[in-house]
Amino acid sequence: MWQQKPADERIEITVDGHKVVAYSYGAGEEVVFLLNGGPGLPCDYLRDAHSFLADHGYRVVAFDQLGCGASDKPDDASLWRIERYVEEVETVRTTLGLGRVHLLGHSWGGWLAIDYALAYPQVLKTLILEDTAADLPHLMAEMHRLRAALGPETVEMLLAHEADGSYDHPEYQAAITLLNYRHVCRLQEWPAPLMASLSDWNMAPYMAMQGPNEFLYIGNLKDWNRTADLHKIACPALITVGRHDEITPACALRMKQNLTQAEMAVFANSSHMPFYEEPAAYDARLLAFLGKHRGGAA
């Protein structure tokens, strides 16, 4: 169950001359290393949803990626690249001496986790891919399917605003808000940690890498696709997805079919945040997977 509590340790790390801030809970030898979504979001929402693992003997580590939260926010568009973030993850892991980890990536953090797993397979005990995808062109097709459910007139309106870049127009924002409540978090009141992250969203990396909102991918990741490489990831993997997720079960299934050791959990009453929407069911499935692979293969 999610909880808001101070981290046991707050550590400042230097990454290529920039400050990155990490948070650690618990002291277990088994490390769950969290990569949150965004890009541009502080890690509050993900660390507060997973700090409970410290009560089960795990050490939980999260960090505000460069450009987010308490970390530095440089005004340099060249920094907003997934390749640079992969090396940032490795710098945080080695600086903190985490050793081999259970790597958990949510949403954009899942794309980052996949690229990291391909670059540094030897440091993973398991890979946990939450509400994410390995093929963004396929995801965009799924997004258009979800948008189509709003009706042809609304879709026409969305396309018109996207054509002229008027993403802030009230009618465009109203449609995006509806999609968010259907496919990002279906709770009537969004949890405090999620609101804390959203209130401190740095749109610069988000716009550069993804786009203006959750349902339009026009940034430098729009053609990102690692489906053909997933078979190279040999460690056990858990894929979680909400039945109503913006990154749909079809995206999750495509990952499962291409990973060598993957199991998948679909949460029937969730969208993009099962750890908030169905915390009891989510926590049980995550603990079962971690328990099965505690220690990991050497």
CA angle, 8 then 14 then 18, to 5°: 120
The answer to whether residue 183 is catalytic is no
Among the listed residues 50, 102, 161, 272, the single catalytic one is 272
Among the listed residues 245, 271, 283, 293, the single catalytic one is 245
Rounded to an integer, what distance in angstroms lies between the CA atom of residue 65 and that of residue 111?
14
CB count within 10 Å of CB 182 equals 15
How long, in residues, is the chain? Answer: 298
The answer to whether residue 245 is catalytic is yes
Contact residues for 20 (Cβ-Cβ < 8 A; gap 6+): 12, 13, 14, 63, 64, 65, 66, 71, 72, 88, 91, 92
Distances (CA, A) of 186 to 36, 91, 102, 191, 246: 19, 36, 28, 11, 11
Amino acid at 100: R
Among the listed residues 107, 197, 270, 271, the single catalytic one is 107
Question: What's the half-sphere exposure (Cβ side, CA atoms, 13 Å) at 256?
Answer: 17
Rounded to an integer, what distance in angstroms lies between the CA atom of residue 289 and that of residue 298?
18
143 and 155 Cβ atoms separated by less than 8 Å:
no
Order across the sheet with 58-64: list the strands: 9-15, 18-25, 58-64, 30-35, 101-106, 124-130, 237-242, 262-267
Establish whether the linkage from the previous residue to 39 is cis, with ω within 30° of 0: yes
**Distance between start and end Cα atoms, the chain:** 31
Give me the active site residues, please.
Answer: 107, 245, 272
